[in-house]
Amino acid sequence: MISIVGIVGAGQMGRGIAEACAVANKSVILVDRDAASLGKSQHIIQRNLKRVVESARMTQEAADRALGKITYAQDIATIAPAQLLIEAVSEDETTKKAVLKATQAHLSKDALVASNTSSISITRLAIAIRAPERFIGLHFMNPVPKMKLVEMIRGLQTSDETFAVAQEFIVSLDKTIAMSEDFPAFIVNRILIPMINEAILALYEGVGNVENIDTAMKLGANHPLGPLELADYIGLDTVLAILHVLYEGLADPKYRPCPLLNRYVAAGWLGKKTGRGFYDYSGETPVPTR
């Protein structure tokens, strides 16, 4: 049973996985090269658990215990005790492979390694580690503490033992598993991201403005969030990166990213995490920008 988890990448996903693991009584070492990301993660995890206590879904003692389970570090060497290392850095194959490679000098040879990639081939990422049979895809959903699903993806090399230990780990977090084959963007994003791209195309072509497109899909298709709101929440850089993986991996022009998405990412308008995307987040409530 996995009880010590190392996580590299303390963005919105890394910190969410850290919180879910700590609440499930795992020790967590959360690593990021960026001190600001670590500071933000610590603040957000504290705030989230405070809210859970205030809503009487957790005792103060349990929240304090969970907070005490997480260590924050910039030095990759601190992952040494981890039995499972989860890579959660930006959605870029070269970056992910470099990070996975860098972890190898510090991890025990028995440790399992997972990637939280949204779209990139697990079989290809596995090449970056010394024992590809100990590598697996664990695709958590955002926000991790609230979302029940984890997609599990076996690479061609993933062993049955790695799969069994990883499966037990996910169940111990009280999550539900959907298995996906190792195809570009797996199941959730194969279906979700083209829909988001279509919503951005509808905006680009003037079919509707931001507010109307999101309202139409919330009230007309019973989606809890509109597609543009959801794109901002995921991060427009991540949405674009997933579209590139679909476009190149399936060699099908239907996955061509909308030019407006390219422009927003080029401008650094990445959504909620940078304060501006299809909405402006500088005030109390998000304001549509188009």
Ligand X SMILES: NC(=O)c1ccc[n+]([C@@H]2O[C@H](COP(=O)([O-])OP(=O)(O)OC[C@H]3O[C@@H](n4cnc5c(N)ncnc54)[C@H](O)[C@@H]3O)[C@@H](O)[C@H]2O)c1
Q: Which residues bind ligand X (CB under 6 A)?
A: 8-14, 32-34, 37, 88-91, 95, 99, 116-118, 139-142, 234-235, 238, 273
Q: Toward ligand X, which CB reaches closer, 8 or 111?
A: 8
Q: Known catalytic residue: 189?
A: yes
Using alpha carbons, list the distances in angstroms from residue 225 to 30, 119, 222, 233, 235: 29, 21, 9, 10, 14
Which residue sits closest to ligand X, CB atoms considered? 11
Shortest distance, position 214 Cβ to ligand X, whole Å: 17
**CA 64/CA 258 separation, integer angstroms:** 45
Grouping H, G, I as helix, E, B as strand and the rest as coil, residue 116 is coil
Q: Toward ligand X, which CB reaches closer, 203 or 234?
A: 234
Q: Known catalytic residue: 172?
A: no
Q: Toward ligand X, which CB reaches closer, 162 or 238?
A: 238
**CA 105/CA 125 separation, integer angstroms:** 17
Using alpha carbons, list the distances in angstroms from residue 98 to 93, 104, 202: 9, 10, 37
> Which residue among 19, 87, 91, 151 is the active-site one?
151
**CA 54/CA 32 separation, integer angstroms:** 29
Whether 156 contacts 167, CB under 8 Å: no
Q: Known catalytic residue: 223?
A: no
Q: Toward ligand X, which CB reaches closer, 127 or 149?
A: 149
> Which residue among 48, 116, 118, 119 is the active-site one?
118
> Which residue among 27, 119, 180, 189 is the active-site one?
189
Q: Which residue has the tokens 């949405």?
A: 239
**CA 135/CA 157 separation, integer angstroms:** 8
Shortest distance, position 118 Cβ to ligand X, whole Å: 3
Shortest distance, position 121 Cβ to ligand X, whole Å: 13
> Which residue among 139, 180, 197, 229 is the active-site one?
139
Which DSSP string corresponds to 134-188? GEEEEEE-SSTTT--EEEEE--TT--HHHHHHHHHHHHHTT-EEEEE-S-TTTTH
Shortest distance, position 268 Cβ to ligand X, whole Å: 12
Q: Toward ligand X, which CB reaches closer, 62 or 73?
A: 73
Q: Known catalytic residue: 229?
A: no
Q: Which residue has the tokens 């598993």?
A: 177
Can you list the positions of beta strands (E) in the chain?
4-8, 27-31, 70-73, 84-87, 112-115, 135-140, 149-153, 176-180, 279-280, 287-288
Grouping H, G, I as helix, E, B as strand and the rest as coil, residue 4 is strand
Shortest distance, position 86 Cβ to ligand X, whole Å: 10
Active site residues: 118, 139, 151, 189
